[in-house]
A and B are shown apart, each in its own frame.
Chain A
Amino acid sequence: MRLIARRLLFYFFTAIAAVTVDFFIPRLMPGNPVESVLAHLQGTVTPATIRSLELQYGLNSPQGLWGQYMTFWVHLVHGNLGLSTSYYPSPVTSVIRGALPWTLGLVGVATIISFVLGTLLGIVIAWRRGTWLDNLLPATTFFQAAPYFFVAFIALDIFATRLGWFPTGRAYNQLDFPALSTSYVGDVLYHAILPAGTIVLCSAAGWIVGMRNVMVTTMDEDYVLVAQAKGLAKRRVIWYAARNAILPSVSGFSLAIGFVVSGALLTEIVFSYPGLGWILLQAVGARDYPLLQGIFLIITFAVLIANLAADFVYVFLDPRTRQEA
């Protein structure tokens, strides 16, 4: 339990640091964000928008930097991330709230599928070392190296545009009224197959290689040899080895989840999927700084929570971490 407490403390400080970074980046960058927005919108802004932006970035503000930082925190705790300039006068939080469930659903399900699938494949490839299955490894390298959104391009071109098997984008049929009916849920799942499949295809490679490499090393351990010498069923022997080999995959989760989330955001853009990635693109195009900063914070918090969950799983899986407490 000491481990969990330490990790909790670490994530707590990381979250504070992320908020601090979020606060300081606009203030440290050369140039004036308000002027940049004004130049971009070219006269279509109301004085109220300018005022709200000036307040947000502390221009013409009587408060010092420290005072602004404190105000930023107070607003954050109250769930106030400022007003979006491209969806003005919607607050950033409501824009994000509309998009977040789509991203969470897509990335969450795709990550779980790719982790399970990749780990199982890694076990099989390691166990069958020296057979044709080894040839799969260079192929996985390709998918690991290819940008997610490029694979999404190809999937969209082949399966949606040319073959017409799947819709070309969006999360559900626009004519459908969002209601909890079977046809609506089926429609959402149907729209999610292609983007989720892309994410699984690209992210599974990392799990496969990671699991295979640890598994190959674990298979040489004495206890695995003993298990086999005892005449245990092959499946049990694999189970013994795999249980021990999976630990680095779980502890390496933090590195992987960042990549998967980044890749998923870009995949959403290709599929016009109405998640965070899609509004991120809008925010970049419209120089909507408050929305950009809000998305950064939300994604960071989500990744921290995912990491915390992985740490809990690690403590659950590895008894050694519990003994120290």
Chain B
Amino acid sequence: MSIGTGTDLGGTGLSGIGVGGTGPAAQAAGSLPPPVTGPVRARRLHLPRSPKIIAGLAMLAVFLILAIVGPLLAPYNPSASSSTTNGVPQPPSAAHWLGTTQIQQDVFSQLLAGGRSTILVAFLSGLVATVLSVLVGVSAGYLQGRWMDDVLSMLANFFLVMPALPLLIVIFGFLPASGGSNDVLIGLIIAITGWAWGARVLRAQTLSLRARDYVESARIIGERGWRVIGFEILPNLLPIVASSFLFTVLYGVGTYTALAFLGLVNPVHWSWGAMLFWAQSSDAELSGYWWWYIPPGLAVAFLGTSLALLNFGIDEFINPRLRAAGLTRRRAKQAGGQGLPRRFELGLTPVVRVAANGATAGTAMTDRTQEQPS
């Protein structure tokens, strides 16, 4: 049940965090206390190993802290002009760390203040969209073959092919101006267009899980539908739910920024997209005012990168073949595997195993059943 054993999406990789994580994980852990909290322990042991997940989590934590304390740290009022006579954006200086805008607003303060709205809208839309996609996807998968499944799948496919941004532009275009600065409303509207992909993936995986023996047996015992879904199926969908949550948050960041950039969200409601809106309407990119548009753009890009890195990590957790980290020559040398071929090619999923006591005493496994020498 350790990292290298999972070979398909629904196989050991998934059950490792859900039901069957107790025994083998504890064996690998060796000197650790008895596995009272088996599945939780397994989750803790597996996930943070990937450098992608660590980097993603660290970056995301910085952004979340920024969302909470950012507006309080801002040295200036983001909307206030420090001078009404100067109409030229000032480059970064000691007084204004990231320079000023055309009407002498402090870019650094706008960046700090704008993070909260951007991150709030993104996470809210991600949360709502994920709840929607679990509801629709899992029920459609569980009710496969009935008319309900057809209706729900059709709905998901409809939202999937509908180009989201133009639809949102029409909706926001007709929204009264007062609605354009309400973060909760914006997040909800974005969520409506963002749930379909998650629902489709979850439906497919539910279909596969539904046919498994343990789900069958739960049903034969006479468990009720909601119990089978909630306690047998849903725990095994967690990595996919997490991945689709991150995906929709990423989508929310991009979409909210795009809408604000277009001026569809009240532009004095500070967000990173609103900053880009003002920069664009003053031709900052044509006049070389890089300090105006680079900070908000980079902030959006790095927030997105942190989410995408986490998503990569989860993907690699679900499907170990995607992992590249265990294959580099440096890692192989660290692990002391002299018999490693220079490059792995086909049919083999080599894994460098790391012993639980901290030392890298593992070796390359080209067989999924071999015991680890130590």
User: Do these two chains interact?
Assistant: yes
Q: Are A219 and B262 interface neighbours, CB within 8 A?
A: no
Contacts of A292 in B (CB 8 A): 169-170, 173
Does chain A have a CB within 8 A of B258?
Answer: yes
A-B contacts at CB below 8 angstroms, number: 195
| Chain A window 250-267, contacts with chain B (Cβ cutoff 8 Å), 1 for yes, 0 for no | 000011011001100110
Asked if residues B176 and A295 are in contact (CB atoms below 8 Å), the reply is no
Give the shortest distance, in Å, between A150 (CB) and chain B (any CB): 3
Across-interface contacts of A225 in B (CB, < 8 A): 346-347
* Separation of A237 and B345 alpha carbons in the complex (Å): 11
Residues of the B chain whose Cβ atoms lie less than 8 Å from the Cβ of A244: none
- Minimum CB–CB distance for A69 against chain B, Å: 17
- Using C-beta atoms within 8 Å of the partner chain, give the interface range for chain B: 35 or more
**Chain B contacts for A222, CB-based, 8 A:** 347
- Chain B residues whose C-beta falls within 8 Å of the C-beta of A228 in the assembled complex: 345-346
Q: Are B176 and A30 in contact (CB under 8 A)?
A: yes
Q: Is A303 part of the binding interface, using a Cβ–Cβ cutoff of 8 Å? A: yes
Main secondary structure of the interface of B (DSSP, over half): helix
Whole-angstrom CA separation of A175 from B27 in the bound complex: 77
Q: CB < 8 Å: which of B284, B294, B345 contacts A219?
A: B345
Shortest distance in angstroms between B307's beta carbon and chain A's nearest beta carbon? 7
The answer to whether the Cβ of A270 comes within 8 Å of any Cβ in the partner chain is yes
A284/B263 contact (C-beta < 8 A), A30-B176, A296-B170 known: yes
Q: A286 to B297, alpha carbons, bound, how many Å?
A: 26
Kindly identify which residue among B158, B173, B297 contacts A284, using a CB–CB cutoff of 8 Å: B173
- Annotate B278-304 by CB proximity to A: 1 below 8 A, 0 otherwise: 011000111110100110010011111
The segment from A80-88, A116-124, A129-137 found at the interface with B is: A129-137
Instruction: Report B-chain residues with C-beta under 8 Å of the C-beta of A287.
Output: 173
Q: Which of B160, B174, B293 contacts A33 (CB 8 A)?
A: B174
Question: Size band of the A side of the interface?
Answer: 35 or more
Closest CB in chain B relative to A190 CB, distance in Å = 18
23 A-B pairs (CB sep. < 8 Å): A13-B154, A14-B158, A29-B175, A30-B176, A31-B174, A137-B312, A138-B52, A142-B305, A145-B301, A145-B305, A149-B261, A150-B300, A153-B284, A153-B297, A154-B297, A157-B286, A216-B321, A222-B347, A262-B164, A269-B280, A280-B166, A284-B173, A296-B170
Instruction: Point out residues on A near B: beta carbons under 8 Å.
Output: 10-11, 13-14, 17-18, 21-22, 25-26, 29-31, 33, 36, 128-131, 134, 137-138, 141-142, 144-147, 149-150, 153-154, 156-157, 160-162, 168, 213, 216-217, 219-220, 222, 224-225, 228, 237, 254-255, 257-258, 261-262, 265-266, 269-270, 280-281, 283-285, 287, 289, 292-293, 295-296, 299-300, 303-304, 307
